[in-house]
Amino acid sequence: MIYKHTQSLDTKKDIIIPCKKGNLKRLAEFTSIKNLDFEGDLSTYQLIYGDAGNRIYLLGLGEEKDAIKIEDAFRKLAFETKKHWKKNIQVDAQSLSEDAIKQAVIGLELSNYEIGQFKSEKKKQAELVVNFISKNDIENQLKEGKYTGETTNQIKALVDAPANYKTPEFLGEWATKSAKTYGYKCTVLHQNELKKQGFDAVIAVGQGSVNPPVVIVTEYITKPNAKIDIGLVGKGITFDTGGLSIKPSTNLHYMKSDMGGAAVVLGVVELVAKLKLDVNIVGIVASAENAVDKNSYRPGDVINSYSGKTIEIIDTDAEGRLVLADGLSYLIKEFQPEKIIDIATLTGSVVRTLAFSAAGMFTNNTEMAKTMSDIGFKTNERVWQLPLFEDFEADLHSDIADLRNFSGKPIAGAINAAKFLEAFTESHKNWMHLDIAGVSFGDSPYSKMKSASGFGVQLITSYVKTLN
């Protein structure tokens, strides 16, 4: 979609009129009908016709508490009705705040996502021009909303892509192309370089696959010779069979989504570059395919890691924390960022704890936790803090290696995974781990099967903005 700013409303053309619940007085300007069967409840809409036969969509924004869901309201309206739109449609934005206008654009842009990218017959979408009517200068809101929606759609397409297309190498090519387009640096470390530098845990996870692992390093630097403000590390398991500790076949086809954390990292760096934020950011994606083969690593093996720590493998399905461990160690050694956030679809345990409502957040930094929590509620990408108590360190004990990758206990799985990662942070005071397993991929009103949500792009980008 193309978004434009206009100061005057054309009452003879199609219009979207956002309405808060109970605040419907302005509708008298557009219709003489008094009983519209429309109250302005969130995400409800009513179609009426103007005197010129133009379509007028009354869109409910709900109550004040629903302000964080304006994006959803616009997305639902566009998804269900835009097939009837002509080449142009107007949005009466006079009563919308700047943040609400940005949300509206994001929602409209998200409605463009076409999940059937691998169908033989693709739907053709006509280019639409959306004119936002406002007396204020809203160009920045239109631009940021479009960039955010575009990038989120691209990230969702990555997560939804099948593993026979979306190999670790494919992710590297995606990042390389993005870097060239939006002006940041991308380096892809391949098998030989991984061996040379000592990414032993990444190599171990990927050694059973015909698709070799890679580590993708993206750098967006606006302040040369200054510190790295933030480093991101994403889990990039492009398909997870569970390895020799193989998963059940039920829903195994959805394990193409196990690179949701990597997708967030790639998307955030791209969006930061698009928005030209004044920040130094580094994104690391440790990517492998966890396959079953005669060369696969085994339960009981002891492997090395980039940090030098040895790891006893208890469960080969606890592979995400292994590649993240190497990514964290590399990030800290090479870049020494002020703040670190790793993002991963890491455990089923966090889903059992928080269901599909929030990501699990782990950090010992109370300031980071509060800031991220506040942003999560504001963007409707919520996080909830879980503990990193010392009590759980005993679960990492190994008799024959420095630590083990899985406690073997049916309790505190998300916490145990976070404690494992903490062991590779060099006691960094500004580290946070986000387990997004329950919110990255799941049921959606916009697809018949489970699909990517795009969770994390707005959350982390908004956090990055606080570092300016």
Catalytically active residues are 247, 321
Least Cα distance to 181 among 114, 109, 99, 266 occurs for 266
Main-chain phi, psi angles of 433, to 5 degrees: -115, 130
CB 158 within 8 A of CB 115: no
**Looking at this protein, which amino acid is placed at residue 47?**
L
d(CA 232, CA 307): 17
CB 202 within 8 A of CB 194: yes
CA angle (288, 289, 293) in 5-degree steps: 130
* DSSP for residue 12: T
**For residue 4, what are the β-bridge partners?**
131
Main-chain phi, psi angles of 64, to 5 degrees: -60, -40
DSSP helix/strand/coil, 46:
strand
Main-chain phi, psi angles of 97, to 5 degrees: -75, 170
The dihedral over CA atoms of 282, 396, 196, 245, expressed in degrees to the nearest 10, equals: -100
Q: Where are the alpha helices (DSSP H) in 276-412?
A: 320-335, 348-354, 366-379
CB 280 within 8 A of CB 223: yes
What does the longest C-alpha to C-alpha distance in the chain come to? 81
CA angle (169, 173, 175) in 5-degree steps: 115
d(CA 214, CA 211): 9
**Looking at this protein, which amino acid is placed at residue 103?**
Q
The dihedral over CA atoms of 251, 290, 208, 179, expressed in degrees to the nearest 10, equals: 130
CB 348 within 8 A of CB 437: yes
* DSSP for residue 405: S
